[in-house]
Amino acid sequence: MQSQIQQYIPEPALHQVLKLLEHDNLVVKIKKERKTRHGDYRALPNNKHQITINSNLNEYRFLITLIHEVAHFEAYNLYGRFIKPHGVEWKRVFQKLMLPFLNPEVFPNHLLQLLAGHFKNPKASSDTDVNLALALKQYDEPNDKTYIFDVPLESAFKLYNGKVFKMGKKRVKRFECVEVNTGKMYLFNPNVEVELLEKRNE
């Protein structure tokens, strides 16, 4: 387990992470990138439990995602299978498990400030915390994608699934975008990364 995990997380976090994973009925698997999730947790038959994490995550996002999924496992053990997936029980467990990692030996100071705010009431996905998501993405491998908040009005862009949209106006936090093929309007968080297809005519 140590050799599998240590290449993906900050080194100072390794000892504490391995302690959390000391369960005979818990298996952690590293997966290829999945566009719709960073990781997941499943209770399997025969009292076994499985956590999967995407291999392409930077070390800070990998650690947060791993503890997120371990919190599902611990909440299941403490409160049973009928609790809400991201309800108050999971939030309490996630906060408790994450607390030992929230120090400058593990995370850079600018991330710690954002994490402190996030963990007052952790969400189902850190991606919905726009400021935290943008800060974490600074540690990703460079790519040719554009953040949706940088897409000019009326410009076309493409998602990872091939669907093409036209950029619309901003609401309070999210952006209105129309799918070209169907004419349906969708709302996008500003930290979504897309492929810009054309620029606005000046």
| 111 and 45, same domain (yes or no) | yes
- 103: tokens are 């120090």
| 57 and 115, same domain (yes or no) | yes
Q: Does residue 62 belong to any structural domain of this protein?
A: yes
Q: What pLDDT, on the 0 to 100 scale, is given for residue 36?
A: 85
Q: Does residue 202 belong to any structural domain of this protein?
A: no
Q: Does residue 126 belong to any structural domain of this protein?
A: yes
The residue assigned the tokens 């054309």 is: 198
State the Cα–Cα distance between residues 189 and 192, nearest whole angstrom.
6
Q: What pLDDT, on the 0 to 100 scale, is given for residue 143?
A: 86
3-state secondary structure of 188: strand
Q: Does residue 22 belong to any structural domain of this protein?
A: yes
Beta-strand ranges (E) seen in the chain are: 26-31, 39-44, 48-54, 146-147, 156-158, 164-170, 175-179, 185-188, 193-196
Q: Does residue 127 belong to any structural domain of this protein?
A: yes
Tens-of-pLDDT digits for all 202 residues of the chain?
667 899 999 999 999 999 999 999 999 999 998 888 999 999 998 889 999 999 999 999 999 999 999 999 999 999 999 999 999 999 999 999 999 999 999 999 999 999 999 999 999 988 889 899 999 999 999 888 898 999 999 999 999 999 999 999 999 989 999 999 999 999 999 889 999 996 544 4
Q: What pLDDT, on the 0 to 100 scale, is given for residue 2?
A: 66
Number of folded domains in the chain? 2
| 118 and 166, same domain (yes or no) | no
| 31 and 65, same domain (yes or no) | yes
| 59 and 154, same domain (yes or no) | no
| 107 and 16, same domain (yes or no) | yes
Rg (the chain; Cα; Å): 19
DSSP structure class, residue 150: G
Residue 176's CATH number: 2.30.30.30
Q: Does residue 75 belong to any structural domain of this protein?
A: yes
| 73 and 169, same domain (yes or no) | no
| 67 and 108, same domain (yes or no) | yes
Domain that holds residue 11: 2-137
Q: What pLDDT, on the 0 to 100 scale, is given for residue 202?
A: 43
Q: Does residue 201 belong to any structural domain of this protein?
A: no
| 39 and 128, same domain (yes or no) | yes
| 112 and 175, same domain (yes or no) | no
Q: Does residue 186 belong to any structural domain of this protein?
A: yes
| 167 and 79, same domain (yes or no) | no
| 37 and 66, same domain (yes or no) | yes
pTM for this model (two decimals):
0.86
